[in-house]
Structure 1
Amino acid sequence: MRRLPVLAAAAVLTLGLAACSDPSAEAPATTVASWPEPTAELDGVQLTIWAAQNSNTVPKKVIEEFQRATGAKVQVVTIPDPYEQGVQTKVATGDQPDLAFWQPTASMLTALNARANLQPLTGAPWLTALASELKDITGVLDGTRYAALVTSPAVEGVYYNKEVFAAHGITAPPKDFDAMVALARQLKAKGVTPFHEMGGDRWATQWWVQVQLADAARDGLWDRVNTGKETFAGPVVLNAIKRYQSLIKEGLFNPDIRTATFADQGAALLGGKAAMAVQVNSFFGQLQAKADTAELDRKIGFFPIAPSGNVGTFIPDQSNALVAFKTGDAEREAAARQLLAYWMGPGYASFVADRNTVSLEPAVPNPAGVPKALLDVHAALPASVGSMQALAVANPDLYLNLADMIGGTMTPEQVAKATQDQFAQLAKAAGAPGF
């Protein structure tokens, strides 16, 4: 997941202002004419997929198999980080791939001008195969499906070191946010660093605020923010920011919080130098690169968290889904749909086995080697609530402002105001009513 979804905010503003109003209104969505057979012959057809640096190897196996089955040629092109900003800049100048990995939230589909630029995936043949709770969780804008979910959406929650918990007599994860804080204080009293934060890389700082907002999100917070009835500077969000700062000032985090990186965070949790980290799925991907499933199952656990209990906050990212572009070439557009149909159809079992990841289709079993923590993350999805990225009409740079707060250059009130000011600009550019 990394920082990319929120880094796109500046590009959203630029492209949105250029369009003056809702860019998704520039062209009507059209119904996809047909879905080709997944293994139909495609000799001579060449497709391009854009991917980020953390998703460019995801389709390797399925592409190889699709090419053998159809005769098509598929090239993966890596767009440098920040990925979303780079993609939007290219698309705005008329440069388009056939397919691209993309964050499938409504705000990011709007940012890509979905109605004008993307093929609707109406009637996609694999939708009936998806688990019922995942079918409509994301990928839809204004009632039209534009994104194909291929891996389990990321969830904000707490990764913890089981061995650290066990060494201090902790036999079960805390049941709500306050209980987690109480546990952190107990650990600190025993000389353990309770939480690790990667303030140097900044992008994960926002998870601490968002998990505190899970109950409010379930009760319509982002709908109210989207319509101007509530703001980031209001008490709900501001109090979450203030509490995050207070926990830092209390000394419940790593002493090098201002400079610590994503890699530092992974090493600290896996090595038992910290007990917990609030993170998303890409964090576990880093741990998988450092340890095998047996070690991960022994050391690393996961629990969702919210003020009211063990409730997760879901935040699909660009590595979870793909979109197909309207290139104007009917043959390639059909071939792009065919690749998606193959990926989520005949090629799906092989894909999840190659990636050692959770299956989204009940008829396709999870590979035997999927770590327990990753299964627990996926199990948290049905009861999870949407994140800012999933439910807000725009994604301001909350994480940058929080990093500045950690660095001592902004107060919580300044964080809230700066975030709201940017949100209002982005919402206006996207054509949201009331802005």
Structure 2
Amino acid sequence: MRATRSARTLAVAAAAGAALLLTSCAGGDLTSSSGDGGDDAASTWNDATADLSGVTITFGGGTAGGPLDGAIEAFQEETGATIKRVTYPDPYEQNLQTRVATGDIPDLASWQPTTSMLTALQAPANLLPLDDAPWLDSMDPAVRDIAGFVDDTRYAAIVSSPSVMGVYYNKAVFEQYGITELPQTWDEMLEDARTIQAGGGTAFVEAGGAQWPTQWAVQMQLAEAAQDGLWDEVNAGETAFTDSPIIDAITTYQGMVDEGLYNADLRTATFEDQSAHLFAGEGAMALQVNALLEQLLTQYDAQEIDDTLGWFPISAEGTVATTIPDNKNGIVAFKTGDAEREAAAKQFLTFLMTDYYPTYIEDGGLVSIVTDVPNPDTVPQLAQDIAASLGNSVGSMQSLAIANPDLYINLASLLYGEMTPEQVADATQQQFAQLAQAQGAEGF
């Protein structure tokens, strides 16, 4: 279930969204033109295939294609509507926010369905509420309420199983070193890693050259603390990155590197190197998100992946998974002031999550999040194991903190020997405090 956030945290998050939009385009209109028509349309849900002849809506997305292309084509054929794709170049989120700030608003857009990213779009002013969406009761309860909210209002449709931080492991390497039971705590995982190292193997494969994967080892250690309100404390200025448990997690990561538990090229290895090393058995484990599986699926089929790799969630004290939904997992519908277009946008969401959903997940090789729609045969067991962890999960820093400082960049500097754990924590805290202060957060 999603974590409840305090009123103070939500107010600050809303301020964060305003600050982001102001930064992206000073002087832009921060609210949509939606008036009474938009509010009326919020309660209108057409049948999935109702006639929309003559209606044109826009769909905002990144440069990459995917199973949504098929959904858009099918929706047009079934309803007579026209959907125009609007492509925003990378950095996708920043460019879409800039358009919204100037009033250039699409009808639909792929978007990261976390509270912080929804407030960046000023959801109450700019997005249609989806609380009464007709497909919600058919969704897997473990996923339905995991993201998509600002305060108690749902503003994003979760359309695929959210990304999760976890440990991918090579089955043959585990067998080679006599590891027959999966670790149940961080310390148990380190014991297994040391067993592998003592036998001459490489325990972990890191992608320091890509930088962004460095944060997972730290964030996964914070799962229980996040369940206990860590990020609310950070948001309020009551706990800093320089305090326990965050500095402790950074220090533990440094210790893992110092022990030699990682690949020799950890500082330069790319993300593609990381997946290749793991799959080839040149390393036992990789701490990663769903992106690693997506990368492997471009090269291997489901059976090859399942024969080679397994996956497990891990946290400091147990097996609590840490979720980090991305913009492939969510879609938002904007208030435009045009009741017909708003209803059409919502109808597309209904079509996607009902009539078209079996085809959508088949085309994408995705785990189903609709209870009466089975997983496609092409979905690896690995993906199903990842999705199953969502029932015992907590949000990431990106999901629950009011700002997203450059933790991963600072951790990459740690790998390069340019920073100590204390310097990483201090630099990250300083940036977080500056962002929070600019947003008007109390305690900074």
TM-score (norm 1): 0.92
2:328 is equivalent to residue 319 of structure 1: yes
For 2:45, give the aligned amino acid: W
SS of 1:301's equivalent in the other structure is strand
In structure 2, distance between residues paired with 1:244 and 1:30: 49
Q: Is the 8 A contact 2:33 2:335 kept in 1?
A: no
In structure 1, distance between residues paired with 2:258 and 2:236: 34
User: Aligned match of 2:395 in 379, 382, 386?
Assistant: 386
2:412 is equivalent to residue 403 of structure 1: yes
| Structure 1 gap segments, 5+ residues each | 1-9
In structure 1, distance between residues paired with 2:381 and 2:102: 44
For 2:51, give the aligned amino acid: E
SS of 1:235's equivalent in the other structure is coil
User: Aligned match of 1:152 in 153, 161, 170?
Assistant: 161
User: Aligned match of 1:345 in 351, 354, 358?
Assistant: 354
Partner of 1:52 in structure 2? 62
> Which range moves more in the overlay, 361-370 or 333-342?
361-370
Q: Is the 8 A contact 1:139 1:147 kept in 2?
A: yes
For 1:39, give the aligned amino acid: T
- Distance change (3 Å), C-alpha of 1:366 and 1:346: same
For 1:417, give the aligned amino acid: D
In structure 2, distance between residues paired with 1:362 and 1:14: 37
- Distance change (3 Å), C-alpha of 1:171 and 1:231: same
For 1:201, give the aligned amino acid: A
In structure 2, distance between residues paired with 1:402 and 1:12: 29
2:49 is equivalent to residue 39 of structure 1: yes
> Which range moves more in the overlay, 147-156 or 111-120?
111-120
In structure 2, distance between residues paired with 1:27 and 1:212: 43
Q: Is the 8 A contact 2:34 2:336 kept in 1?
A: no
Partner of 1:280 in structure 2? 289
User: Aligned match of 1:15 in 7, 17, 21?
Assistant: 21
Partner of 2:11 in structure 1? none
User: Aligned match of 1:271 in 275, 280, 286?
Assistant: 280
In structure 1, distance between residues paired with 2:415 and 2:359: 44
After TM superposition, the structure 1 = structure 2 runs for residues 136-215 of structure 1, keeping only pairs within 5 Å, are 136-215=145-224
Q: Is the 8 A contact 2:334 2:342 kept in 1?
A: yes
Deviation at 1:161? 0.8
User: Aligned match of 1:358 in 357, 367, 378?
Assistant: 367
1:310-348 Cα shifts (integer Å, max 9, x gaps): 221111111100011122332222111110011111111
Deviation at 1:133? 2.3
Deviation at 1:16? 5.3
CA RMSD of aligned residues (A): 2.3
In structure 1, distance between residues paired with 2:158 and 2:349: 10
Q: Is the 8 A contact 1:103 1:320 kept in 2?
A: yes
| Structure 2 gap segments, 5+ residues each | 1-15
In structure 1, distance between residues paired with 2:291 and 2:431: 26
- Distance change (3 Å), C-alpha of 1:219 and 1:264: same
Deviation at 1:224? 1.0
2:114 is equivalent to residue 105 of structure 1: yes
In structure 2, distance between residues paired with 1:24 and 1:428: 23
User: Aligned match of 2:139 in 111, 126, 130?
Assistant: 130
SS of 1:156's equivalent in the other structure is strand
- Distance change (3 Å), C-alpha of 1:151 and 1:301: same
Partner of 2:436 in structure 1? 427
Q: Is the 8 A contact 1:12 1:426 kept in 2?
A: no
In structure 2, distance between residues paired with 1:404 and 1:88: 29
Deviation at 1:172? 2.4
SS of 2:109's equivalent in the other structure is strand
Q: Is the 8 A contact 1:393 1:432 kept in 2?
A: no
TM-score (norm 2): 0.90
Q: Is the 8 A contact 1:24 1:114 kept in 2?
A: no
After TM superposition, the structure 1 = structure 2 runs for residues 59-98 of structure 1, keeping only pairs within 5 Å, are 59-98=68-107
> Which range moves more in the overlay, 26-35 or 61-70?
26-35
For 2:160, give the aligned amino acid: T
Deviation at 1:251? 1.1
Q: Is the 8 A contact 1:193 1:274 kept in 2?
A: yes
- Distance change (3 Å), C-alpha of 1:127 and 1:396: same
1:348-403 Cα shifts (integer Å, max 9, x gaps): 12211221211111111111221011000001001011111121122212111111
Deviation at 1:75? 3.0
Deviation at 1:26? 12
User: Aligned match of 1:413 in 418, 422, 433?
Assistant: 422
Q: Is the 8 A contact 1:156 1:279 kept in 2?
A: yes
1:31-50 Cα shifts (integer Å, max 9, x gaps): 71311111111122222222
1:255-292 Cα shifts (integer Å, max 9, x gaps): 11111111111111111111110011111100111101
In structure 2, distance between residues paired with 1:246 and 1:387: 22
Partner of 1:302 in structure 2? 311
Deviation at 1:13? 5.4
Deviation at 1:240? 0.6
For 1:168, give the aligned amino acid: Y
Q: Is the 8 A contact 2:203 2:285 kept in 1?
A: yes
Partner of 2:6 in structure 1? none
In structure 2, distance between residues paired with 1:52 and 1:191: 43
1:3-42 Cα shifts (integer Å, max 9, x gaps): xxxxxxx99855356889xx89999995713111111111
Deviation at 1:94? 2.4
In structure 2, distance between residues paired with 1:65 and 1:128: 24
For 2:53, give the aligned amino acid: D
For 2:139, give the aligned amino acid: L
- Distance change (3 Å), C-alpha of 1:80 and 1:25: closer
In structure 2, distance between residues paired with 1:298 and 1:291: 11
- Distance change (3 Å), C-alpha of 1:284 and 1:410: same
